[in-house]
Structure 1
Amino acid sequence: MKPIKFSYFLLLLIALTTCAQDKNPINKMNSHEVVVSDLNNPWGFVFLPDGAMLITEKEGKIIHYKDNIKTEIDGLPEIYVRGQGGLLDINIHPKYNENRWIYFSYASTKGDGEGGNTAIMRAKIKKNTLVEKELLYKAEPNTTKGQHFGSRIVFDKDGYLYFSIGERGERDINPQDLTRDCGKIYRLNADGTIPDDNPFVGFKNAKKAIWSYGHRNPQGMKLNPETNEIWSHEHGPKGGDEINIIKKSKNYGWPIITYGENYSGTTITDQTKKAGMEQPLHYWDPSIAPSGMAFISSTNYGDWKGSLLVGSLKFSYLDRCQIKNGKIIKEERLLDGIGRVRSIEQAPDGFIYVGVENLGIVKLIRKQ
């Protein structure tokens, strides 16, 4: 009987632990409509002025979608598909109607060393083919590790280009070293040149495109439409995912400070705070594995206006974060159990669209 009792209590413990893994309440007054079906991993998507979408598939495809027709775009650069790396985020220039520039991030083999690292390219589309391709930034060195490529792309209100690159699994080397790429958020002019007022332009041997550092793996980044601040979230270790407001020259602490621990349960550091390092606006414990981010700025969802939406890869839902006085005061689960939420965008029509792995792009519907 002893083995039976042990197995019973072990199963009970696992069940209780599993139930306690995510404390956010479930809101069932919402549903979804599949808009673009049969996508494997829609890592990023963006709406064009004519209502079409450009969608990245991590495996190395850009898909143009309009009026139920999918068209694959030709002429992509070589994509290094390994682990979390592949074709990643996509965005358009704020003045796209005038210049037609699109921007995308991807894992690239260019440069020194085996493997790849995150790159940013801009191009135009002509006759369903990328033309006028310009490589704006390529992180170095390459590595065959498959984790922590980042990578989101955001323009601020002044037209500067921001992008994130994860620390590529080299936590003790990259994030705190300004002379090395990775574990950073970067800022460029839209043409790829480095602004003169970037914070580390005058530092010897520093990577002059760096805007902030001490990051682990930022996979969500958006401009807050109410404050014009750049908000970002990043994958932490076990129990240490974070939301941060990104500020010029600031150090966000990884791995010197963290609210998380190693996946094995061992300690990374006993410090959660340190002078000269930024505290997260919010952190998740347990981790939700966040990906994608969007603010609801339209009135289409009633009193959800002003909320922040974050996708959960781990628990397969859309996390609605209620904000008051610049703080997250409440969370709830939308689209609970839909699948691994990878990307989120508010469309020009004010509705929220969500990229879900092995499903597609869905439209969020709030039930009345």
Structure 2
Amino acid sequence: MRRTTRLTAAVLAFLSAPVAQALDTQTGPVRIDRIAAGFTDPWSFGFLPGGGVLVTEKGGRLWYVAGGSARQIDGLPDSVPDGQGGLLDLLIPRDFGRTRQIYLTFSKAQGAGSGTALASGRLDTEAGRIENLRVIFEMTPGSSGGRHFGSRLAEGADGKIYMSIGERGDRPAAQDLSRHNGSIVRLNRDGTVPDDNPFIGDEGAEPAIWSYGHRNPQGMAVDATGQLWVNEHGAQGGDEVNRIRRGANYGWPVIAYGRHYSGQKIGEGTTRPGMEQPEFYWDPSIAPSGMVFHSGSGHAPWRGNAFVGSLKFDYVARLAGDPLREVERISSPETARVRDVREGPAGGLWFLSEDDGALYRMVPE
């Protein structure tokens, strides 16, 4: 109870605090409003129809923020807060108003280790809990340590659930189709595998895999055409933005831009036949996080642009063009370790600062 009271008081205090001063950007001045604060290691957020925001904390809490107060939601999966693991991403699907279903990713205990898993249940905001929670998917067991869970979610234009899984620090596993490490998986809404996934019927291959050869994808978004994109952490240099294609191999750890932290070369270099090239990469690494393609609602110059948070350099990257290129770095005191970014229900750009433990809204002046 003390935790709920403290967070609610913080939210109310920060809602009544003055907004940040206007910030000049290449597309015009913006204002950054602090919406809610007091979170501990926030990881993701999402908007509910009719108002209200859900915010996950890596330590295992889910908050419902609405009407100037915050309430903790019960009935969550048992997550393992190990290193980069814990309660992670959140997906509120398009038909939430009818089904009340939400999806959560988390690090799940698997014997002596842990792995990325997906749970679903029905959200009852009045009761403050998730009902009928079920774990509907978990990665193949056998991983240990607290690195590279990946763990972003997206609802595809086809209504399927796409989920990113890091290679869990086991580099060769990203090229092993018998394991989910280092892959994007594609699932039906109930966690079963769609009949048209690319590796259905391939001997030894996990049928949920949609693409593979990824290192640690911590950003995922669908653009206006329905194309799926991910960004992923490289090692020392070589953070990538990838256009995801059915059945494609994105090369890790055979090819990469960047080097191991030891300074040694990664794999065979930057290219190999049959392996995809990134649409864009950062060198040095920015540690990319949440990703969104903006509709341009409320600010036409942002239409079709991608926005990506940087955990390392404390800014929001704006990417535009074909292929995508970073065209602007939006930086302010509020953009400290940006963990997630989303387009708001009325436009604007919302982002979650891990360092501040706060949720912000950026809107054109």
Aligned equivalents of 2:329, 2:237: Cα separation in 1: 18
Aligned equivalents of 2:326, 2:142: Cα separation in 1: 41
Contact 1:140 1:181 in 2 (8 A): yes
Aligned equivalents of 2:326, 2:90: Cα separation in 1: 30
Instruction: Show the counterpart of 1:94.
Output: 94
Does residue 129 of structure 2 align to residue 129 of structure 1? Answer: yes
How far apart are residue 366 of structure 1 and its match?
3.1
Instruction: Show the counterpart of 1:340.
Output: 337
Q: How does 1:241-260 map to 2 (within 5 A)?
A: 241-260=239-258
Instruction: Show the counterpart of 1:305.
Output: 303
Give the direction of change, closer, same or farther, for the CA distance of 1:26–1:314 in structure 2 (3 Å limit): farther
Computing the radius of gyration from Cα coordinates, the structure with the larger value is 1
SS of equivalent residue, structure 1 residue 202? coil
Contact 1:38 1:358 in 2 (8 A): no
How far apart are residue 205 of structure 1 and its match?
2.0
Counting aligned pairs with the same residue, the percent is 42
Instruction: Show the counterpart of 2:179.
Output: 180
Aligned equivalents of 2:328, 2:198: Cα separation in 1: 37
Aligned equivalents of 1:30, 1:314: Cα separation in 2: 23
Aligned equivalents of 2:326, 2:104: Cα separation in 1: 33
Contact 1:30 1:334 in 2 (8 A): no
Q: How does 1:215-234 map to 2 (within 5 A)?
A: 215-225=214-224, 227-234=225-232
Does residue 311 of structure 2 align to residue 352 of structure 1? Answer: no
Instruction: Show the counterpart of 2:62.
Output: 62
Aligned equivalents of 1:134, 1:94: Cα separation in 2: 20
Instruction: Show the counterpart of 2:8.
Output: none
SS of equivalent residue, structure 1 residue 137? strand
Aligned residue-pair number:
337
How far apart are residue 347 of structure 1 and its match?
1.7
Q: Which amino acid aligns with 1:318?
A: V
Aligned equivalents of 1:147, 1:329: Cα separation in 2: 28
Contact 1:311 1:317 in 2 (8 A): yes
SS of equivalent residue, structure 2 residue 318? strand
Q: Deviations over 1:177-221 (max 9, x none)?
A: 000121000001111111111111101121110000000000000
Instruction: Show the counterpart of 1:195.
Output: 194
Q: Which amino acid aligns with 1:35?
A: I
Q: Deviations over 1:58-88 (max 9, x none)?
A: 1111101101110000111211001100110
How far apart are residue 158 of structure 1 and its match?
1.7
Aligned equivalents of 1:202, 1:308: Cα separation in 2: 36
Q: Which amino acid aligns with 2:226?
A: N
Contact 1:31 1:335 in 2 (8 A): no
TM-score (norm 2): 0.89
Aligned equivalents of 2:92, 2:222: Cα separation in 1: 14
Aligned equivalents of 2:25, 2:46: Cα separation in 1: 28
Higher RCO structure (Cα 8 Å, ≥6 apart):
1
How far apart are residue 330 of structure 1 and its match?
4.3
Aligned equivalents of 1:83, 1:149: Cα separation in 2: 10
Instruction: Show the counterpart of 1:12.
Output: none
Aligned equivalents of 1:161, 1:75: Cα separation in 2: 22
Instruction: Show the counterpart of 2:324.
Output: 328
How far apart are residue 258 of structure 1 and its match?
0.3
* More deviation, 174-183/28-37: 28-37
Contact 2:223 2:304 in 1 (8 A): no
Q: Deviations over 1:111-144 (max 9, x none)?
A: 4x31211100101123111111121111122433
SS of equivalent residue, structure 2 residue 324? strand
SS of equivalent residue, structure 2 residue 98? helix
How far apart are residue 150 of structure 1 and its match?
0.5
Aligned equivalents of 2:364, 2:326: Cα separation in 1: 18
Aligned equivalents of 2:46, 2:213: Cα separation in 1: 28
Instruction: Show the counterpart of 2:52.
Output: 52
Contact 1:30 1:335 in 2 (8 A): no
Q: Give 5+ residue unaligned stretches, structure 2.
A: 1-23
Give the direction of change, closer, same or farther, for the CA distance of 1:29–1:350 in structure 2 (3 Å limit): closer
Query: How well do the aligned residues superpose, as a CA RMSD in angstroms?
Result: 1.6
Q: Which amino acid aligns with 1:358?
A: D
Aligned equivalents of 2:326, 2:47: Cα separation in 1: 29
TM-score (norm 1): 0.88
Instruction: Show the counterpart of 1:7.
Output: none
* More deviation, 87-96/252-261: 87-96
Contact 2:161 2:186 in 1 (8 A): yes
Q: Which amino acid aligns with 2:261?
A: Y
Aligned equivalents of 2:118, 2:330: Cα separation in 1: 32
